């Protein structure tokens, strides 16, 4: 039986064949020539840009097997908004970032990433998942140390000197924002020593690299692929990146990590010294016999029952060193108190009544 197609169908078939012929026709007459064109700009035109692009690729390739995603799980009660006493428990997951610092399987992240977690897993660059053990943490510094099995295939990071960074230096962040593993973003160091951002009182590196929820605990790298900071928080009204992120300087973080390792299994809690102190004025120096070129802070008051009072610190003591570190201002003293933490001991070098003395302060809960 012969089927006769309407004339319009034959016309459409003919147009389709013609269109396909034009599309694949070689040479300048076909649309295929649109996809064969040369590069708009050659290597000589873009030499500097290509070299920079290759530099970023090198940083990523050298770091990707050191950075991990961290998945935590904890049980939470879910309450119905429509009915009283209607609730259920669910094991919820959350994500953060971290990086390997030692071939024996030690991983660093933020304390707030693993806080209250019932289980912790580390996800490597090849997708391998490793259970992680809690080694210890420092709550105020917001740093935690985890351990996975040796031979994981991960590569320890290299550390840079965070004291040598300058505003305008490249700052590269790798992490898992919103659970998107090993996301790579590039920015610059926006400021070197941001203070008093929160209750920790510690200084931070400010950067415009893209840091978002889930990036916490990941490394901030320099152009050599060295870790100069631990990405920690952002300044934003919306909870999303607005170009202002902050990282814990690595030189400070290394002191904290060493302290955590010495106190395995412990969460180092925040502590206070309980003093009001300031850099003395010339009149104060003259009255107390403090040489003009000596650096330190003068105690002018203290809290009753505080660590300072209980350990014998007095008004008008001039604090010059804390745990062997020179105290130039109150932030230096606060930093050392924060490093030691609750229950620790702070060794002070003071000038009292025209004599140098050593004093050990035990940091207690007031």
Section 144-168 average pLDDT = 94
Q: Do 243 and 289 belong together in one domain? A: no
Section 153-181 average pLDDT = 94
pLDDT above 70: residue 135:
yes
d(CA 64, CA 182): 7
Whether residue 32 lies in the annotated active site: no
pTM: 0.79
The pLDDT assigned to 236 comes to 74
Is 16 within the bounds of a domain? no
Reading the block at residue 354, the tokens are 């025209």
Tell me if residue 179 falls in helix, strand or coil.
helix
Q: Do 73 and 114 belong together in one domain? A: yes
Q: In this structure, what CATH number is given to the domain that contains residue 101?
A: 2.40.10.10
d(CA 215, CA 274): 34
Q: In this structure, what CATH number is given to the domain that contains residue 295?
A: 2.30.42.10
Residue 90: CB atoms within 10 A of its CB come to 10
Section 192-204 average pLDDT = 79
pLDDT above 80: residue 17:
no
State the average pLDDT for the chain.
Answer: 88
For 73, the domain range is 64-147
Catalytic residue among 65, 142, 208, 332: 142
Q: Which of these ranges, 26-30, 122-126, 196-200, has the smallest mean pLDDT? A: 26-30
Q: Do 130 and 173 belong together in one domain? A: no
Q: Do 297 and 343 belong together in one domain? A: yes
Q: Do 177 and 245 belong together in one domain? A: yes
Catalytic residue among 32, 94, 112, 158: 112
Is 1 within the bounds of a domain? no
CA 156 to chain centre: 17
The pLDDT assigned to 213 comes to 87
Is 5 within the bounds of a domain? no
d(CA 333, CA 321): 8
Looking at per-residue pLDDT, the higher value among 183 and 32 belongs to 183
> pLDDT tens digit string along 335-364?
899 888 998 999 999 999 999 999 999 999
> pLDDT tens digit string along 73-129?
987 766 666 665 566 666 677 899 999 999 999 999 999 999 989 999 999 988 999
User: Among the residues of 204-303, which ranges form H helices?
Assistant: 250-262, 282-288
pLDDT grade for 20, boundaries at 50, 70 and 90? low
Whether residue 138 lies in the annotated active site: no
Section 145-153 average pLDDT = 91
Tally the domains of the chain: 3
Sign of CA dihedral 196, 197, 201, 204: negative
The pLDDT assigned to 124 comes to 93
The pLDDT assigned to 136 comes to 95
> pLDDT tens digit string along 220-252?
999 999 999 999 988 876 766 777 999 999 999
The pLDDT assigned to 108 comes to 98
The pLDDT assigned to 297 comes to 97
Q: Do 279 and 359 belong together in one domain? A: yes
Is 302 within the bounds of a domain? yes
């Amino acid at each position: 039986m012969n089927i006769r197609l309407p004339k319009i169908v034959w016309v459409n078939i003919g147009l389709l064949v013609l269109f396909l012929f034009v599309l694949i026709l070689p040479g300048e007459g076909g649309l295929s020539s649109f996809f064969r064109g040369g590069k708009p700009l050659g290597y000589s035109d873009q030499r500097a840009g290509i070299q920079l692009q290759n530099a970023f690729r090198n940083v990523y390739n050298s770091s990707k097997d050191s950075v991990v995603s961290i998945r935590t799980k904890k049980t939470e009660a879910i309450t119905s908004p429509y009915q009283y006493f209607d609730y259920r428990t669910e094991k919820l997951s959350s994500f953060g970032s971290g990086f390997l610092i030692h071939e024996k399987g030690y991983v660093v992240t933020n304390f707030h990433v693993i806080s209250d977690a019932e289980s912790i897993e580390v996800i490597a660059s090849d997708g391998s998942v490793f259970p992680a053990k809690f080694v210890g943490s420092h709550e105020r510094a917001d740093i935690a140390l985890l351990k996975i099995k040796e031979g994981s295939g991960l590569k320890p990071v290299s550390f840079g000197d965070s004291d040598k960074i300058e505003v305008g230096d490249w700052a590269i962040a790798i992490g898992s924002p919103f659970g998107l593993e090993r996301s790579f973003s590039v920015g610059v160091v926006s400021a070197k020593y941001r203070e008093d951002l929160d209750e920790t009182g510690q200084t931070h590196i400010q950067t415009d690299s893209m840091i978002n929820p889930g990036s916490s605990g990941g490394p901030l790298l320099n152009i050599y692929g060295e870790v100069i900071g631990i990405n920690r928080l952002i300044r934003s009204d919306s909870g999303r990146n607005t170009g202002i992120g902050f990282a814990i300087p690595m030189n400070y973080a290394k002191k904290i990590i060493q302290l955590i390792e010495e106190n395995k299994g412990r969460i180092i809690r925040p502590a206070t010294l309980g003093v009001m102190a300031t850099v003395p004025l010339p009149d104060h120096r003259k009255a107390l016999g403090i040489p003009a070129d000596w650096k330190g802070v003068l105690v002018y008051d203290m809290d009753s029952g505080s660590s300072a009072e209980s350990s014998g610190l007095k008004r008008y003591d001039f604090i010059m060193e804390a745990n062997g570190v020179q105290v130039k201002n109150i932030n230096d003293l606060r930093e050392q108190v924060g490093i030691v933490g609750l229950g620790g001991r702070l060794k002070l070098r003071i000038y009292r009544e025209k004599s140098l003395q050593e004093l050990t302060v035990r940091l207690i809960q007031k």
